[in-house]
Amino acid sequence: MSLSPGDRAAAGLPDDRPTPQVVIEPDADRLARAVAEALVARLAAAQAVHGDASVVLTGGGIGIAVLEHVAGLVAEPVREKVDWTKVDVWWGDERFVPGDSAERNEGQARRALLDALDMPDFRVHAMPPSDGGFASPEEAADEYVAELREYAAEGADLPRFDVLLLGMGPEGHTASIFPGTPAVRDERSVLAVRDCPKPPPTRVSLGFGAINSAEEVWVLATGEAKAPAVARALAGADPAEIPVAGVRGTRATRWLLDGAAAAELPRAQG
């Protein structure tokens, strides 16, 4: 019998998920290009098995750069094997600001890629904006819980996530789970986040339960400012202090780094 990671933890058993893999590209642009190619291949493979595919997007510089590179691949149809009408797009976190704000991860992703794809609206699962009919981030989080459930298999709360992309901050935050905040110990799949140290302060985020349900979790990091947190996370830091240390896919966890972000890893990893 195979136990879920949560059941294993409750039974005091060690985590049996695959060891994280580290991939290092020389610079941010080559990293974004390599991740874009890997993402297209992963989504095509998921469609070959399931008929459809799903990806969870992140905001942040490298997350959006990856989408721009995917848009470049889409423009080269010979290389592109994804049926974008059969890809569900979710978000790992979102800023609770008006829908037309430049701060929205959704808007950035639309401009970088989604607007260029022929995707049906029902496949694009943006987290609600502050002017979207939900008075608070708590209500917006509840709405996202309901949307996730609607796309889940019978009896489940979460749909299948084939790939979940995450950025990270220099202090180790990921999605909108920040060090030392209540979110690090919150079991719910979607969280309202207030007083976020990185502006804007009010956000909606997936929690660890939802993030770690993904088949593959890909952590993207570039630049020397991220190097200390990358090294601490991969050395097994407490997720309450370095939240990105707490992310794991059920089938794979990949740390996709540029040389600067990998600079403080021990030789065997870097």
Ligand X SMILES: O=C(O)[C@H](O)[C@@H](O)[C@H](O)[C@H](O)COP(=O)(O)O
Asked if 193 interacts with ligand X (CB under 6 A), we say: no
Asked if 169 interacts with ligand X (CB under 6 A), we say: yes
Asked if 167 interacts with ligand X (CB under 6 A), we say: yes
Asked if 112 interacts with ligand X (CB under 6 A), we say: no
Our CB check for ligand X shows the closer of 132 and 170 to be 170
Asked if 179 interacts with ligand X (CB under 6 A), we say: no
What is the smallest separation between the CB atom of 140 and ligand X, expressed in angstroms? 15
What is the smallest separation between the CB atom of 45 and ligand X, expressed in angstroms? 25
Asked if 105 interacts with ligand X (CB under 6 A), we say: yes
CA–CA gap between residue 75 and residue 60 (Å, rounded): 23
CB under 8 Å to 50, separation ≥6 — which residues? 160
CA–CA gap between residue 241 and residue 234 (Å, rounded): 13
Asked if 137 interacts with ligand X (CB under 6 A), we say: no
- Only one of the segments 11-19, 61-69, 211-219, 232-240 lies at the binding site for ligand X (rule: CB under 6 A); that segment is 61-69
Asked if 181 interacts with ligand X (CB under 6 A), we say: no
Q: Give the residue, chosen from 60, 128, 172, 207, that forms a contact with ligand X under the rule CB under 6 A.
A: 60
Q: Give the residue, chosen from 25, 31, 56, 63, that forms a contact with ligand X under the rule CB under 6 A.
A: 63
What is the smallest separation between the CB atom of 174 and ligand X, expressed in angstroms? 6
The footprint of ligand X on this chain (CB under 6 A) covers a number of residues equal to 14
Our CB check for ligand X shows the closer of 206 and 252 to be 206
The CA-atom distances, in angstroms, between 153 and each of 3, 38, 47, 102, 146 are 19, 26, 17, 34, 13
